[in-house]
Amino acid sequence: MSEEVVIPDRDKMPRWVPRAMALFFAGIVGLYVVHWLLGQLKTLLVMILVSFFLSFAIEPAVNWLFRRGIRRGLATILVFGGIGIAGTLFVVAMGSLLADQISRLIDEAPNYIQQTQVWLEKRGLNVNTDEILETFQAGGAASSLAQDLASNLVDLSATLLNVVFQLLTIALFTFYLIADGPRFRRTVCSILTERRQREVLFVWDLAISKTGGYIYSRALLSALSFTFHWIAFAILGIPFPLALALWVAVVSQFVPVIGTYIAGVFPLLIALLDDPISAISVLVVIVVYQQIENYVFAPRITAQTLEIHPAIAFGSVLGGSAILGPVGALLALPAAATTQALVSSYVQRHSLIDSELLDDMGQLHVGTEFVAGDGSADTGVDDVEPEGSVD
């Protein structure tokens, strides 16, 4: 009895192809939905991210009060209250200073322009300033600009309300993450194995340590900067010495990379409007203090709180700014410090061989020999024993 030979149908589509096509299109649709959701929830996700970093920064102070017998909720309220008072004082001081200087600038602008014209004419330069003077007179462009700003007051108010709402939302999330932090961490850890729980809590504690250390080191440096500049500006007779010192202290310490330059421009402009000669003294004060901070204060304070290479700091700020704008720039340094500490905790380090490339003192490297500073030579490299991971 002959066996029947079954010839496969080559024109028939394999059964896995429709499934693969269905999965492919389902994946495309899923990616589109995720992209749409991220676009819709971007603002909320950024606010939650900011809340997490703020909770990391504030929790050490709350824990300090909690260990001294104050209930966690009340301790959180006290810390939030202190931050709110400090922020309000800063905004009020800067607002009154800015409003006063703008008003004085508009009032004194004609005198400045006429003085500039006289100075130029003495040097053989004839400049017609009549059109510029009309700008600051009644009905001029400056007056028109003020009227335009008044007409756009509704739009400005809506923007301010939106900002206030976002700040309140961030404050609410941050308050919950701090006041109810232990229970929130218990909820997260309850769905993880013991090993994963230890890893999550280790990373969480590291983030709190590095972010809190960054904030408190900045706060201490800010206090030193405020005291120095307040005294110096008062001695020099600069208008609004307290407000200007507060501006320099906050902006120079909490705005990454370019904060020092932004902080110094405002006092220079105020001093220039008041007395051009005093602006030179202000510049000298700012430069002198910056050197004192860089070589005396900052190394001693940041060595105990946040150690990060300047190149890594600059790169992280640029990356954070590219991803999340100004918010990313502010969060970049504590995030980079936490990441650096986390990587260092898991990377195994070893003893170093002798090489001129590793020695600041400039050892001599001749062929395969390493000649040390005492003249002794070694034709080989000793076995390197690992020191183990860094905890």
Domain boundaries, the chain: 42-146+156-191, 193-348
Q: Could you give the C-alpha distances from 45 to 25, 51, 58, in angstroms and in order? A: 27, 10, 20
What is the average per-residue pLDDT within 363-373?
A: 43
Say yes or no to pLDDT of 386 above 60.
no
pLDDT of residue 76: 92
Summarize the confidence of residues 135-145 as an average pLDDT: 52
Beta bridge partners, 388, equal: 349
Is residue 164's pLDDT more than 80?
yes
Phi and psi torsions of 378, nearest 5°: -135, 125
Q: In this predicted model, what pLDDT tens digit does every residue of 224-249 receive, in sequence order?
A: 999 999 999 989 888 888 888 888 88
Residues in contact with 102: Cβ distance below 8 Å, sequence separation at least 6, in sequence order: none
Q: Which of helix, strand or coil describes residue 366? A: strand
The pLDDT value recorded for residue 303 is 65
Separation of alpha carbons 276 and 115, rounded Å: 13
* Residue 288, pLDDT score: 92
Q: 27 or 371: which carries more pLDDT confidence?
A: 27
Q: What are phi and psi of 192, to 5 degrees?
A: -120, 155
Tell me: the pLDDT tens digits for 170-209? 999 999 999 988 899 999 899 989 999 998 898 888 888 8
What pLDDT sits at residue 317? 79
Most confident of 13-17, 114-118, 151-155, 301-305: 13-17
The residue ranking higher by pLDDT, 329 or 101, is: 329
Q: Residue 102 pLDDT more than 70?
A: no
Q: Name the DSSP class of 295.
A: I
Q: Which percentage of the chain shows pLDDT scores above 90?
A: 12
Rounded to the nearest integer, the mean pLDDT of the chain is 76
Nearest to 329 by CA among 263, 264, 259: 259
Q: Is the pLDDT of residue 282 over 60?
A: yes
